[in-house]
Amino acid sequence: MPSEIPCEMRDRAYRICRDYLHGAWKLITPREMILKQISGGLSNMLYYCALPVSHPPKASEPSEVLLRIYGQVHGENAMESILAESVIFALLSERRLGPRLHGIFPGGRLEQYIPARPLSTSELADPELSFLIASKMANIHSLNVPISKEPSWMWNTMEKWLKASQEFLSKKSTVCDGVSSGDVDSKCVEKLCQVNYTEELDYLRQVVAKIQSPVVFAHNDMQEGNLLLKRDTKGPHDRICLIDFEYCSYNYRGFDLANHFCEWMYEYKLPVHPYFTVDKNNFPAKEKQVNFIRAYLAVAEKCRKEKAPTVGTSTAVQMTHSLTNGGMVDAGCVGFELSSHPAEDTLLQEVKVFTLTSHLFWALWSMVQGQVSSIPFGYVEYAATRMEHYFEDKANLHVDQISKRKSEAISEGV
């Protein structure tokens, strides 16, 4: 049974809805408002708020909304990040690539409530859903968003988290050297302390420079919890809704694909510590990667042709800056034959490289969250798991072959 929501939280949710939504929301009491806590991400708390049947909407105000409370706001660039996320959310809302925005307030926002459920990890491998996710990703990558278009966010974020994680590991290792404390896994901390993160970050910079992945507007966190399967849809292509734009930025194309594939391995539904399970065998085989990549390239090509540049440029670098059909391209009308084998091979190579960046990125994130988040999760264990996978994949990465294949692809105009 779900636990009772504290009166303080109910009062806060009521005041926010009343002040931002008006209409019938101003005519009800806190106790009359329907309020339910629903499952959210690892850094936000989500609540369902609705008008009672006795008070239907008076005008254009919604009868139900999603209340998002940010889990933590910290760091010198926190306000800048919140502002950027709000702009991005509003833009994607207008273009029907995300939920409608009803209000922004200090510490959170009010969003359109979409009758849907998050995908399960196993559903990421469903061929039909995977096709729709690839289509959604290509549409997102085709956007022109009014933020910095330099691919510096990923590196700057990892540098910031690297500094914070060193402080975290220092504290955890001190605890483990003494008396055992709570859920601290001393073996995981020991493994994490043995990594030279600065050296690994420098290594990734060198490898990423060789792969030359195009820079696009990316979601950067397309995991199952951020992909909703709608209950009521207008058509097959409208079944998936993308949410949570906290990490959106301009980034290398390969990161979004590789990061999504990595999420096939991690399940965050375990009800007890460490609250996640992992199966590395679930990482998509080459055939499944190619199917995803073909769908992605087909829709990306469709987007590019809608507003082709007036001067000749490489199709791998030039992505269109507009969308059709009110923000979505119908993937069902685009054939796989639009993508060529060199293009597929190029993206497969990008996935190999950016799989490493995904592991390091979220390992550093997890160590930082372990210090500031109140949400129960095995942050130390998760960081150790991601770094274990990082070194396994690094051992199988042949940089010379990647560099050679990338040069061949460029010579063929990919």
DSSP assignments along 159-211, one per residue: HHHHHHHHHHHHHHHHHHHSS--TT--HHHHHHHHT--HHHHHHHHHHHHHHH
DSSP label at residue 63? S
Please give the residue range of the domain that contains residue 227.
117-411
Q: What is the pLDDT of residue 372?
A: 83
Residues 139 and 62 in one domain: no
| Other C-beta atoms lying within 10 Å of the C-beta of residue 181 | 10
| Identity of the residue numbered 379 | Y
pLDDT, tens digit, 9 for 90 and up, residues 134-151: 999 999 999 999 889 999
Query: Domain holding 314: CATH number?
Result: 3.90.1200.10
- Could you tell me if 169 and 76 lie in one domain? no
- Residue finishing a domain among 49, 83, 113: 113
Q: What is the pTM of this model?
A: 0.80
Within a domain: 2: no
CATH number of the domain where residue 51 is located: 3.30.200.20
Name residue 230's beta-bridge partners.
Answer: 116
Q: What is the pLDDT of residue 313?
A: 33
Instruction: State whether 385 and 242 are in the same domain.
Output: yes
Same domain, 363 and 261: yes
Closest CA to 264 of 227, 302, 298: 227
Query: Hunting for tokens 């959310």 — which residue is that?
Result: 89
- CA triplet 22, 24, 29: central angle to 5 degrees? 95
1 within domain boundaries: no
Pair (168, 257) in one structural domain? yes
- State whether 163 and 263 are in the same domain: yes
Type of residue at 193: C
Residues of the chain with pLDDT under 70: 1-3, 39-43, 71-79, 173-184, 234-236, 307-340, 400-414
Residue 401: the pLDDT is 63
Is the residue at 401 inside a domain?
Answer: yes
Same structural domain, 291 and 335: yes
Measuring CA to CA, how many Å separate 48 from each of 10, 68, 123, 229, 269?
11, 9, 24, 17, 20
With both helix axes pointing from N to C terminus, report the angle between 197-211 and 399-411 in degrees, rounded to the nearest 10: 30
Strands, E assignment, 235-340: 240-242, 249-252, 266-267, 277-278
Contact 272, 168 (CB under 8 A): no
Q: Are 324 and 350 in contact (CB under 8 A)?
A: no
- 6-34 pLDDT, tens per residue? 999 999 999 999 999 999 999 999 999 99
- Residue 247 in domain: yes
pLDDT score recorded for residue 307: 62
Domain contains 229: yes
Same domain, residue pair 92 and 228: no
Distance, CA of 18 to chain centre: 30
Domain match, 321 and 187 both = yes
Distance (Å, whole) CA 159 – CA 201: 8
Inter-residue contact 304 to 318 (CB < 8 Å): yes
Same-domain check for residues 91 and 176: no
For the chain, how many structural domains are there in total? 2
The predicted pLDDT at position 273 comes to 94
Single out the residue in 75, 90, 113 at which a domain terminates: 113
Q: How far is CA 310 from CA 215, 271, 304, 305, 401, in A?
A: 20, 55, 12, 11, 35
Give per-residue pLDDT as tens, 328-384.
444 443 333 333 479 999 999 999 999 999 999 999 999 999 888 878 899 999 999
- In this structure, are 75 and 213 located in the same domain? no
Cα–Cα distance between 80 and 148 in angstroms, integer?
Answer: 12
Q: Is residue 373 part of a domain?
A: yes
Given the structure tokens 């292509």, which residue do they identify?
A: 237
Residues 107 and 124 placed together within one structural domain of the fold: no
Q: Which of 113, 131, 164 is the last residue of a domain?
A: 113
Structure tokens at 17: 């809805």
